[in-house]
Amino acid sequence: MIPGIDLVTFITVFGVLGVAAIIFAESGLLIGFFLPGDSLLFTAGLLAHEGVLDINIHLMVLILFLAAAAGDSVGYVFGRRVGHRIFNRPNSRLFKREYVEKAETFYNKHGGKAIVLARFIPIVRTFAPMVAGIAKMEYLAFLVYNVFGALLWAVGIAYIGFYLGAWFESQGIDIDRYIIPVALLIILLSVLPPLIHTLKDGDNRKRLRSRLKGSRD
């Protein structure tokens, strides 16, 4: 995040549009590898319940969903038109070619599902839409995966923050004391499904190689 500014302060000062701008920038402007999208979504949901954000939760979630879907679409278009040039771009403080290569490997391994799974993996979610564009994935297919991923990620995490805040209140728990550890826990849980899927896919590949090797022998 911005040095010296925590999530609560950022959201309080810039509101939902500030959060939406960060969510869009993660993949739309290719600068998202250092932006805390998961924790922003969760904290925004929590603050919406607390009344810090003076906006209806459903309207807020709609705005965040549109920002997430639009960001990935812009990343896809960028990749389709000029993305191949980025592989020749020199490394800098804000960009490393290995980030793109990591996303490319992930996309080649999982295909269209990578657009959904990448939502929950920092760095990969920034470059996955661009890689899909470079690979010339059909846009309609990309759009379906994009929308589904945005629903699971942006909508899901924001609602979790909101309703977890309601549960804390019903139990008489002081949310301020637990907001950081709970946000970290939610981020960890959000990363687990794609991580498990990746590990399971790797195990399946190893079994297949073993069978092929056995059949040759």
pLDDT tens by residue, 131-157: 888 888 889 999 999 999 999 999 999
Asked, for residue 1, whether it belongs to a domain, the answer is no
Asked, for residue 86, whether it belongs to a domain, the answer is yes
Asked, for residue 159, whether it belongs to a domain, the answer is yes
pLDDT at position 97: 66
Place of tokens 């687990």: 192
Encoded amino acid at 155, one letter: V
pLDDT at position 178: 66
Asked, for residue 17, whether it belongs to a domain, the answer is yes
Are 134 and 37 a contacting pair, CB within 8 Å? no
Q: How many independent structural domains does the chain possess?
A: 1
Interval 89-124: pLDDT, tens: 666 555 566 666 766 777 777 777 888 888 887 777
Asked, for residue 73, whether it belongs to a domain, the answer is yes
Asked, for residue 203, whether it belongs to a domain, the answer is yes
> Encoding tokens for residue 79?
């990749």
Asked, for residue 121, whether it belongs to a domain, the answer is yes
Asked, for residue 76, whether it belongs to a domain, the answer is yes
Lowest mean pLDDT among 5-9, 33-37, 45-49: 33-37
Range of the domain at 52: 7-216
CB neighbour list of residue 125: distance below 8 Å, 6 or more residues apart: 26, 27, 32, 37, 118, 119
Average pLDDT over the chain, rounded to whole? Answer: 77
